[in-house]
Structure 1
């Protein structure tokens, strides 16, 4: 699943579909009952993708055509129409200039340490994002027609990484569980010209002299929107108890990763071995065990599609479940379970405000005591943690609709979302212990006399 042949399994691409077929074939060999569309293992859904059109858009500076995402990076998915001489602002901290209706160009500001997000992406890309946010903040609500930011030397080194990320655009799924608690289940219409963010761009530092001289710029940014397929892969083991077999324990993973991107250290494939082939391997092991010895309750195994694009597959299935959502008693979701200290792990959803079932948590803690005996890192489950890790995996839509849900993880690392996340980097003895922990949690839940209850008054809002 994490081999180079899978090409990083990017959501909404043929590579993700190839990986999905691979997972379905493993389900078939193991003996899972197919629970997808038309008797298959596949539950299909459409991704709505909106991005800057590189064919319909055009930017020139001093008459020179700029190649989108190579010479100039649109920083947001917004349309733009502007032309005229550039107003050079030598210092973006100077807010006295009248920029209304003008195309402004300015050197990027150095971001403060506090504005550089403390997450596990490369420092160069985080620095670039911080510089973009810091500089644009100086032009908020001042009426500029467009803002062109000239990269510093540090941002120039991350130019290709920023371009690769921003060029992909925005992804969503219609009629699904909202991204946020107060959100809509509908895909928003694409932004209209003149609405939303001020159109903004990043250019290489080599263009500074041209822009500082007040060169003429012509900007015409058009958007394109289209749908592409993605898929959840779903199998089931029928429970043995005639009273409980219509209740389901749900094992959750995702088969997508981040595709083929900028070359780093000689490799461009984001193999996604830890994220999230490690969990798929653990879930397949659990599936084999349950086929050999079923529990009293039935067990669903779901590889969700396009998790990396915004939890799209889990948001879709939670809204369109293959069994009534009221009959799903618990979700055992894993995300990255094969790295870091061999004796530590994290269980997200184990403390308020994220904990939604003390009953289910007790089963998970008992399973840990019986298997991996991991020391649990509680920092990652706190709402104050800068990663917001609880809100970034496939248990979240189920928790939003009131299903007891936990996320098992060994946390982020420096190889996260890079080509370095390969099978050779996995700690396989640790992965085995994590797989045993996930399995035993499911076994205890599938055979408990009563289903785990949702804690009274639980309300998940961020």
Structure 2
């Protein structure tokens, strides 16, 4: 159920902010006050961090949908609502994991993540640091003290290894606390199968050392109390029809969810990630809805990016217009702070060099530049990638992608640089309007379109 107080606040603000765009021919320019009004709702205490596929996320989607409707946007073609509910299946572990070696219980295993399946088979010790060199075995224990256990586990081929066992160092235990002291279990779209991944367990020093000495032991991991539960994630979508239906559409998007409430009760507000991007989509919708353009523009706020990009994947698989008609997709994520590595006042665009889109935006005044973190593969790590894999020229713009508050309870409204956000969003208005009125369209450069 929606929180009635939350919906009242959302509806009131939606009406208040939407009226100017509906009542005047030239909407007011984007100001810090407009931006702050959105993030106050999206990252405020009432929405409790907008956890993926939760009623709080649904309330955030309802707020965004109310704004789209108030700005005079239409429902997207084929849709009967401004919201798009999507069925998700998630697993929850109500019991404690049980790990045994040769039938003997192993003390206090910390389960970080799991495929949701039991593991049975031989244990192999691995003294290397390259996950690609890990031996094929049911379970692998990482014995090299120089190895970063969590990073190594994330790079192991799940078709070769079902379980990775690492040492519970202070750093590992600290990370376990930061993720809420509970395992990450599969979530997947209803009707699909979860993406394969190895389970990861950390052991205290004594238990780890005993197990490391048992190379070849028979390992079993059981997950008592595993529950499958149905959830719903929600996209919010608005459409500004173009004057030439054959000219295609532009997609402007962000994700509206964040990490919600941790098991210890701390709220992960997600002001920067990605209330900031959702506010940008709303402000661009408000201003661009002030006139008709040759091309249509779809404005989308996806659900469940944090849980696996489900909203964007569903959109890409069930688009309201043919994917071939989407001229370009601009995803907006984490524009709440400026990166000290970037020129003052600019945003980075992931995969800038892959297409002509960034150059086109920049030539018309957008405050965008290249990504200074190519080693982080940010191009693949946001919702743009679901569209790019389908052939759409799709990129993400961000303010500071490596901001220290990322995925912490400190990602709060007071940490945002609201004036920077307003200037950055305003810089996108003319470039998007120009592209919407143009016959030209961005293209992938040779080798730029991703294939996997």
Q: Same fold (TM over 0.5)?
A: yes
Question: For 1:210 and 1:404, how far apart are their aligned partners in 2?
Answer: 52
Q: In structure 1, what is the equivalent of residue 61 of structure 2?
A: 20
> CA shift at 1:438, angstroms?
2.4
> CA shift at 1:109, angstroms?
4.4
Given that residues 108 and 131 in structure 1 are in contact (C-alpha distance below 8 angstroms), is that contact kept between their aligned partners in structure 2? no
Aligned pairs, number:
395
Question: For 1:229 and 1:133, how far apart are their aligned partners in 2?
Answer: 27
After superposition, what is the alpha-carbon deviation per residue over 1:173-211, rounded to whole angstroms, capped at 9, x for unaligned?
A: 36xxxxxxxxxxx733687xxxx85x6522345756997
Structure 2 CA distance for partners of 1:348 and 1:63, relative to 1, 3 Å? closer
> CA shift at 1:29, angstroms?
2.1
Question: For 2:74 and 2:89, how far apart are their aligned partners in 1?
Answer: 30
Given that residues 80 and 220 in structure 1 are in contact (C-alpha distance below 8 angstroms), is that contact kept between their aligned partners in structure 2? yes
Q: In structure 2, what is the equivalent of residue 73 of structure 1?
A: 111
Give unmatched runs, 5+ long, in structure 1.
117-127, 175-185
Question: For 1:102 and 1:345, how far apart are their aligned partners in 2?
Answer: 44
Q: In structure 2, what is the equivalent of residue 7 of structure 1?
A: 48
Q: In structure 1, what is the equivalent of residue 173 of structure 2?
A: 156
Given that residues 36 and 43 in structure 1 are in contact (C-alpha distance below 8 angstroms), is that contact kept between their aligned partners in structure 2? no
> CA shift at 1:261, angstroms?
2.4
1:290-301 paired onto structure 2 within 5 Å: 290-301=288-299
Q: In structure 2, what is the equivalent of residue 363 of structure 1?
A: 360
Structure 2 CA distance for partners of 1:397 and 1:203, relative to 1, 3 Å? same
After superposition, what is the alpha-carbon deviation per residue over 1:262-309, rounded to whole angstroms, capped at 9, x for unaligned?
A: 66xxx8222111111111111211111122223222211100111122
Matched, 1:110 2:141: no
Given that residues 66 and 72 in structure 1 are in contact (C-alpha distance below 8 angstroms), is that contact kept between their aligned partners in structure 2? no
> CA shift at 1:435, angstroms?
0.4
After superposition, what is the alpha-carbon deviation per residue over 1:385-411, rounded to whole angstroms, capped at 9, x for unaligned?
A: 231100111222222222222321113
Question: For 1:456 and 1:133, how far apart are their aligned partners in 2?
Answer: 30
Q: SS where residue 348 of structure 2 aligns?
A: strand
Given that residues 332 and 396 in structure 2 are in contact (C-alpha distance below 8 angstroms), is that contact kept between their aligned partners in structure 1? yes
- 2:425 pairs, out of 390, 411, 435, with 435
Question: For 1:273 and 1:14, how far apart are their aligned partners in 2?
Answer: 18
Give unmatched runs, 5+ long, in structure 2.
1-41, 129-134
Q: In structure 2, what is the equivalent of residue 400 of structure 1?
A: 389
Q: In structure 2, what is the equivalent of residue 328 of structure 1?
A: 326
Question: For 2:84 and 2:254, how far apart are their aligned partners in 1?
Answer: 15
Question: For 2:84 and 2:228, how far apart are their aligned partners in 1?
Answer: 23
Question: For 1:43 and 1:100, how far apart are their aligned partners in 2?
Answer: 42
Structure 2 CA distance for partners of 1:321 and 1:130, relative to 1, 3 Å? closer
After superposition, what is the alpha-carbon deviation per residue over 1:408-454, rounded to whole angstroms, capped at 9, x for unaligned?
A: 11132111111111111111121012101222221011111344455
Matched, 1:129 2:150: yes
1:135-150 paired onto structure 2 within 5 Å: 149-150=166-167
- 1:168 pairs, out of 184, 188, 191, with 184
When normalised by structure 2's length, the TM-score is 0.73
After superposition, what is the alpha-carbon deviation per residue over 1:295-346, rounded to whole angstroms, capped at 9, x for unaligned?
A: 2222111001111222221121122111222222221211111212443321
Question: For 1:162 and 1:24, how far apart are their aligned partners in 2?
Answer: 30
Q: In structure 2, what is the equivalent of residue 422 of structure 1?
A: 412
Given that residues 247 and 327 in structure 1 are in contact (C-alpha distance below 8 angstroms), is that contact kept between their aligned partners in structure 2? yes
Structure 2 CA distance for partners of 1:37 and 1:21, relative to 1, 3 Å? farther
Q: In structure 1, what is the equivalent of residue 352 of structure 2?
A: 350
Given that residues 245 and 295 in structure 2 are in contact (C-alpha distance below 8 angstroms), is that contact kept between their aligned partners in structure 1? yes
Q: SS where residue 8 of structure 1 aligns?
A: coil
Structure 2 CA distance for partners of 1:151 and 1:23, relative to 1, 3 Å? same
Question: For 2:346 and 2:234, how far apart are their aligned partners in 1?
Answer: 33
Question: For 1:443 and 1:92, how far apart are their aligned partners in 2?
Answer: 56
Question: For 1:349 and 1:292, how far apart are their aligned partners in 2?
Answer: 31
Q: In structure 1, what is the equivalent of residue 451 of structure 2?
A: 461
Q: In structure 1, what is the equivalent of residue 249 of structure 2?
A: 248
Given that residues 304 and 314 in structure 1 are in contact (C-alpha distance below 8 angstroms), is that contact kept between their aligned partners in structure 2? yes
Matched, 1:278 2:276: yes
> CA shift at 1:171, angstroms?
2.7
When normalised by structure 1's length, the TM-score is 0.71
- 1:238 pairs, out of 227, 236, 241, with 241
Q: In structure 2, what is the equivalent of residue 187 of structure 1?
A: 192
> CA shift at 1:256, angstroms?
0.7
Structure 2 CA distance for partners of 1:367 and 1:47, relative to 1, 3 Å? farther
1:445-456 paired onto structure 2 within 5 Å: 445-455=435-445
Question: For 2:164 and 2:302, how far apart are their aligned partners in 1?
Answer: 39
